[in-house]
Each structure stands twice: as structure tokens, then as C-alpha cells.
Amino acid sequence: MKPKGIIYFTLFILLFWSVSVFAQFTPEEIAEREEIEEFLKTAKIVQHEKIGEGVTKPRRLYLQEGDMEMSGCWKNPTGIQGGALEGWQYEIAAYEMDKLLGLNMIPPTVQRVFKLKRGSLQYWITSEMSELDRYKKEIDIPPEHLEAWSKTKYIMRAFDCIIGNDDRTKQNTRYTKDWRIILIDHSRCFRSSEHWVENLPFGKNGFKQPAQIRTLPRAFVERIKALNYKNIQKAVGISLKDSEIKAVLARKDLLVKEIDDLIMEKGEDEVLY
């Protein structure tokens, strides 16, 4: 059984950066997002199947309510799996942080009980390929999309700094047919160990990739600076513990300093747009 997709959720990232300061949905898509969240939470599960990817053993759930159908990726990893700390609740927290920062690069994600187990359920998006596919097939980014792709890449890395993402891979970075970047798989985020509080994964001294955040939208930087315990807790609810929220704020301070240092070095107009 294939979902007919009575509700269509077209993930949209504006490519005209002079008009849009960073990735965002249209007003119509934002209005549709709440409806999708509710559907994912309450619609009847009519079929399910193994996806066949990932150490977290995700499943695809097919949902139906009346004449409305859609599907999503359900997962419920907890604790150490495949040698790494996993948590299904981090999928939800990452989506809520995505909304709080106005990025809108992560599909709607909610909590859903399946076979008497709590887990995350993320709206199923149709992507053309992953970054891994592009790399293996040696497919170049089309020239007309190169500038937007480059800018989005830096935004993505700054976001991963904030959420403490330990697993941004070529496989979980996806492209739509028109080269918009969609981010999935965030069950290894929100690290709160000393290493993740005192260091950033990206940036001038990034322990994953150094010197890889070069430009950012001014509005995005302002949203980062506006993060505080209260607005993060309101956004993520019980998905994050106190220590994990405090770790987000510690990384925020590191990232703001990273940005300020870059501005001092290159000039504000070369860094912010």
C-alpha cells in the first residue's frame, strides 16, 4: 500500500538570498505544518514496514484518517546503540529547535506510540538523493544552485553546533529535485559531556571540520543570540533534560564568539548578509 498523499507538504527553501535571509517555508507551508503534526500524532496506523537503513532500526508507518493518508519514519532508540548514545526524543527536540531558529529544514516530527513503545515519528519526505549518493556518483551542484547550496551548508553547520550533533553524515543530508537541503536523523544530538560544552564540531577550531563556517544570515545570528533557557525549554518541552539545555546555551556562547571573531577578522559585511 502506498500513501496517496492527500496532504502535500512541500519542503521549501528560498534560493533568492537577497529576499530571504535564510531557509524558510512559505506561509502556506507553515500553516500546513501544524495539521501534519496533529495527523502524525492521532491518525490510525494501517500498515508498517522495516526501512532497512540505520542502526536504530527505523520503521515506516502508514497513516490514514478518512480519505487522508500519509506516512512517517518511526524510531525509538535509547541508550548505547552501535557504539553511540542514541535517543528518539532528540529527533523531536531537533525539530523544535529548527522551528525556534526559523530554519525549517527538518520535517515535522512528533512523539508517537507504536506497539506500546514511545518513539519519534517524522513526516516522510521524498528526496532525490542523499549527499552520499551525490558524492559516489560525482554529481556536481548545478551552477544556478551553487551559491544557495554553499550558504545553506554553513547554516547547517552552525545549527549542528547549537544542537550538538554527533552524526551529520552524507547519508542524512538529503536533496530534493531542485537541490534544496533537507536534514534528517537527529537521534545523536544534544550532547552534554564536557567535550561538547567546551568545543564546537565546526568552526575555526572545530573538532570535526575546522574553518567551515564562513558566512551566515544576520537574522539567523540574531536568533542564535536570543536563545535562553526559558525559550528553549518552552520549545522542546520534556524532550531535553536540564543539563542538555544548559549545554545548548554553552555552545551558543562559543558559536557567538566564533562569529564575532570572524567578523573582527574579515569585516561584518564579509560574514553577515
Is 0.95 topped by the overall pTM? no
92-151 per-position pLDDT tens digit: 999 999 999 998 899 999 999 999 999 999 999 888 999 999 999 999 999 999 998 999
Sign of CA dihedral 38, 24, 218, 210: positive
Q: Which residues contact 33 (CB under 8 A, 6 or more apart)?
A: 9, 25, 108
Phi/psi-derived region of residue 200, left when phi > 0, alpha when psi is between -120 and 50, beta in every other case: beta
Which residues sit opposite 29 in a β-bridge? none
Count of other CB atoms within 10 angstroms of residue 248: 25
Q: Which residues contact 255 (CB under 8 A, 6 or more apart)?
A: 158, 161, 162, 200, 203, 224
Q: Say if residues 174 and 129 touch (Cβ distance below 8 Å).
A: yes
Residue 73's H or E segment, with its range, is: strand 68-75
φ, ψ of residue 252 to 5 degrees: the values are -60, -45
Query: How many angstroms separate the CA atoms of 107 and 260, rounded?
Result: 31
Q: pLDDT 10s per residue in the chain (273 long)?
A: 344 444 444 333 333 333 344 544 556 667 789 999 999 999 999 999 999 766 678 999 999 999 999 999 999 999 988 788 999 999 999 999 999 999 889 999 999 999 999 999 999 988 899 999 999 999 999 999 999 899 999 999 999 999 999 999 999 999 988 888 899 999 999 999 999 999 999 999 999 999 889 999 999 999 999 999 999 999 999 999 999 999 999 999 999 999 999 999 999 999 999
